[in-house]
Amino acid sequence: MLQPILTQEEKETLCGLVTEAQRVVVVCHQNPDGDAIGSMAAMTLLMRRMGKQVTGIAPNNFPDFLHWLPTADEVLMAFKHHDSVDRALEEADLIMMLDLNTQSRMGDLLGAKVEAARGRRIMIDHHLDPDIPCELVVSHPEMSSTCEVLLRVMADMGWTEGLTAEEASALYTGLMTDTGNFSYASNRPEVFEAVSVLLATGIDKDRIYRNVFFTYSEGRMRMMGYLLYVKMEVLKGMNAALITMTNEERKLFQVKNGATEGIVNLPLQIEGMKLSIFLREDTEQKGLIRVSTRSVDDFPCNELCARFFNGGGHKNASGGSLRMTMLEATKVVKEAVKAYSDKLADSPPAPLCERGE
């Protein structure tokens, strides 16, 4: 049985906000992942089960391998569906912000529109330091995913009594993807108690896994080989690796949106590797480098990203961005790794070097 996480006051506040609302908008962070889209889909279905009119809005596109999720193809894109987004936010009684902790994570465009909207606000999240004014904030950074937090909220409110397989599939997707298929951020017994609740609805977890991870194109497979053989640098003596990718290289393999998802995890399969960093040129904003980081054990990716990459996130999985060229960004990465040599190197650090054979 899932343990309660809401106080009685929080339950009463949430009940009042939902009861009084008729038009609900659900939003997530930019570059949405499985946890963002999964929690949005689950919340959309839940609110519709309660008779609400619901619109989902994302700042920009999300990976093609998440479009199978229920309601995913209904999500409006803030950068494209301007009139529909403006109308939905103007009419909203309630705005639910999922898998984000600060306005900047919605991007400049959607962040400004949400800030200007008149609807009351609820935040449900698992990132550190939430700072958006809301009528209710449910934030649990110790949890694996926003989908885990949302399921626990639903259980506290008695809303899991009618939990559907579609809702459970969306929640399981967020749990699965934000833990790397339960390979990190998932040592707590409560994670698997949540999984048990979802499995009880009759979902096919194996099919969900295949829907997310077994959808590679030939171009994606060849791109992976290229990035590992040609582009990966192992930073000698530091137990760290760097992979870079330009938009020209992306075009070379003709890969779909989201095809780079998971690339950052691959170097961690090297024995002794503690940190992996992936730099890629943004497909929508020229001169912007997206940064993804993953680590094992106690290395603080969130601290690294906050200090060097204008970002943050979780201890073992974080991200950020740099407005500079790829060459300049590569130099920043090497400076960052050197700054954390005491946590990365097994022995006195050796000079960083280019990849060797």
pLDDT digits (tens, 9 = 90+) for 218-277: 999 999 999 999 999 999 899 999 999 999 999 999 987 678 988 999 999 999 999 999
To which residue do tokens 């946590």 refer?
Answer: 343
Nearest to 246 by CA among 280, 270, 271: 280
pLDDT over threshold 60, residue 355:
no
Amino acid 351: pLDDT: 61
Residues 6+ apart with CB under 8 A from 182: 176, 191
Does 143 or 285 have the greater pLDDT score?
Answer: 143
Q: Are residues 243 and 280 in the same domain?
A: yes
Phi, psi (degrees; rounded to nearest 5) at 24:
-120, 135
Same structural domain for residues 206 and 234?
no
In angstroms, the CA 341 to CA 73 distance is 45
Is the pLDDT at 357 greater than 60? The verdict is no
Q: Which residues contact 86 (CB under 8 A, 6 or more apart)?
A: 113
Number of domains in the chain: 2
CATH number at residue 251: 3.10.310.30
At 215 the pLDDT is 87
Assess whether 53 and 94 both reside in one domain.
yes
pLDDT score for 348: 54
Q: What is the pTM of this model?
A: 0.88
Between CA 128 and CA 314 the distance in angstroms is 8
pLDDT at 196 exceeding the cut of 60:
yes
pLDDT, averaged across the chain: 94
**Residues 123 and 250 placed together within one structural domain of the fold:** no
Among 213, 231, 248, residue at a domain's last position: 213
Residue 350 has pLDDT above 50, yes or no: yes
pLDDT of 182 over the 50 cut: yes
Q: Where in the sequence is the domain holding 13, given as residue range(s)? A: 8-213
Q: Give 171: exposed, middle or buried? Use CB within 10 Å, 0-12, 13-18, 19+.
A: buried
Task: Please report, as a single letter, which amino acid is at residue 165.
Answer: A
Looking at the structure, tell me whether residues 99 and 236 fall in a common domain: no
Which of 213, 246, 272 is the endpoint of a domain? 213
Cα–Cα dist 209/199, whole Å = 13
Q: What phi, psi does 80 have (nearest 5°)?
A: -125, -45
Last residue of a domain, one of 181, 213, 245: 213
pLDDT digits (tens, 9 = 90+) for 304-321: 999 999 998 889 999 999
Q: Provide the pLDDT confidence category of residue 283 given band limits of 50, 70 and 90.
A: confident
Show the 3-state SS of 315-335. Answer: CCEEEEEEECCHHHHHHHHHH
Do 315 and 291 lie in a common domain? yes
Q: How do residues 46-89 score in pLDDT, each as one tens digit?
A: 999 999 999 999 999 998 899 999 999 999 999 999 999 999 99
pLDDT band at 356 (very low <50, low <70, confident <90, very high): very low
Question: What CA–CA distances, in Å, run from 50 to 42, 54, 277?
Answer: 13, 10, 43
CATH of the domain at 153: 3.90.1640.10
